[in-house]
Amino acid sequence: MRLGCIGDDFTGSSDLANTLAKGGMRVVQYCGIPAHAAPADVDAGVVALKTRSIAPADAVAQSLATLEWLRAQGCEQIFFKYCSTFDSTPEGNIGPVIDALAAVLDAHRVIVCPAFPGAGRSIYQGHLFVMDRLLNESGMQNHPLTPMVDADIRRWLAPQTRHAVGHVAAVDVFAGPERIAQALAAQHAAGHRLIVADAIRDADLMAIGAAARGLPLITGGSGVALGLPANFGCTPAPVAWQGQPGRAAIVSGSCSTATRAQVAHHAARHPAREIVAADVIEGRLDATEIADWLLAQEGLPLAYSSADPAEVARVQDRFGREAAATAIEKLFAEVARRLVAGGVTRLITAGGETSGAVVEGLGLTDLAIGPEIDPGVPALRARPDLVVALKSGNFGAEDFFEKADRMLKANP
């Protein structure tokens, strides 16, 4: 293994694995820290953790344990992947994890670049945009766990890290890899260890990737990995895939603007059932009822708890943020187990926390990377008789669910 990747959730990790696979690398996504050595032919290992919203000390411990496994596989470079919307709070764990990894790897010019232009995320003058909106005006300010109220990544990261945060401006990024490398060196000389890099085009990410050749640690969204396969002598290649026949179902726990639009689009055309969080928390609704309903439907049924931000806030105020999130995640984990036991062979999920709960509920370990459904979301084979799509909340076109099912059951 040459490139080792640590992901803070399951959806973004599959996105990263997809990016590397399209670049020609042999990639395996691991769900949690593997208990076995990687096959000898794996170029890149992506270890997906569920650390995005947990306490910094716990996230650091899991990330360092993952780093130890990756280094034991012979990795030459480490990539720490977080969300392209930099999901965190001032007390979040992105900075602490970067600090801990940098200390072990003796990394002093650490790129911080959550940009993903293909999905509408760009960084300009250190500020993160979602399409034409600043991050804090994009709907992310209403995120139930990690509300993003400041688009300046330098300012948002500063309280999370022990180190000074620098910046490589767009004018240097546009000038190409050599200028980027010079700018990184200048920022390091000025006392900055974590360095936010602007990027508004895929070409910028390719240039940043080239400039990162030889750096022990890179951090960012999956987009910045576009330029990494070439550093290892890999060239783009088609991703192999074999579709899966059988039954399909969708579960959605994301409350993002994009997912709520996808839910509305799908519900107008297919069977759909809303899951009211209060009913779950107070015991009026359980996983058996939801799974039985999904299994009784024809076509492509959807069960969702994707409420609008005002309703989410009311539930959190009434029951507590942690209690509400835990109840829904446990529900989806059990629903997934019952769906697969009931014969579902294609399972589509929406939301990072929901996807993580489903992966853990099903006990999935290694995921084979398939073709891209929408930017940032690949088809995944979990078992010989089960394929999945794990969609981050803000990703995907309005008809994503239908498109995902077509890809999951399609043959070349």
Closest alpha carbon to 351 in 312, 300, 407, 296:
312
Coil vs helix vs strand at 191? coil
Q: Which class in CATH covers the domain with range 3-232?
A: alpha beta
Alpha-carbon gap, residue 97 to 106, rounded angstroms: 14
> Tens place of pLDDT for every residue, the chain, 412 residues?
999 999 998 888 998 999 999 999 999 999 999 999 999 999 999 999 999 989 999 999 999 999 999 999 999 999 999 988 888 888 899 999 999 999 999 999 999 999 999 889 999 999 999 999 998 998 888 887 788 889 999 999 999 999 999 999 999 999 999 999 999 999 999 999 999 999 999 999 999 999 999 999 999 998 899 999 999 999 998 888 999 999 999 999 988 889 999 999 999 999 999 999 899 999 999 999 999 999 999 999 999 998 777 887 888 888 887 888 889 999 999 999 999 999 999 999 999 889 999 999 999 999 999 999 998 899 999 999 999 999 988 889 999 999 999 999 987 6
What pLDDT score was predicted for residue 53? 86
- Strand-pair partners of 195: 111, 166
Four-point Cα dihedral 344, 348, 351, 355, nearest 10: 50
Residues in the chain: 412
Residues 6+ apart with CB under 8 A from 61: none
Query: What is the SS3 assignment for 312?
Result: helix
**CA dist., res. 82 & res. 222, Å (int):** 8
Instruction: Give the model's pLDDT for residue 412.
Output: 61
For residue 261, count CB atoms less than 10 angstroms from its CB and return exposed for 0-12, middle for 13-18, buried for 19 or more: middle
The SS3 of residue 277 is helix
User: Quick one: pLDDT at residue 3?
Assistant: 98
Helix (H), strand (E) at residue 381: strand 377-383
127-130, strands of its sheet edge to edge: 121-124, 127-130, 133-134
3-state secondary structure of 256: coil
15 to 7, 8, 279, 351: CA distances (angstroms): 10, 12, 33, 13
Question: In the CATH hierarchy, which top-level class contains the domain 247-409?
Answer: alpha beta
Q: What angle do CA 144, 268, 274 make, to 5 degrees?
A: 40
Query: Which pLDDT does position 361 carry in this prediction?
Result: 95
Domain boundaries, the chain: 3-232, 247-409
Which one, of 60, 154, 64, lies nearest residue 105 by Cα? 64
End-to-end CA distance of the chain: 28
Q: Which of 340, 319, 326, 323 is nearest to 382 (CA)?
A: 340
Query: Which pLDDT value is given to residue 118?
Result: 86
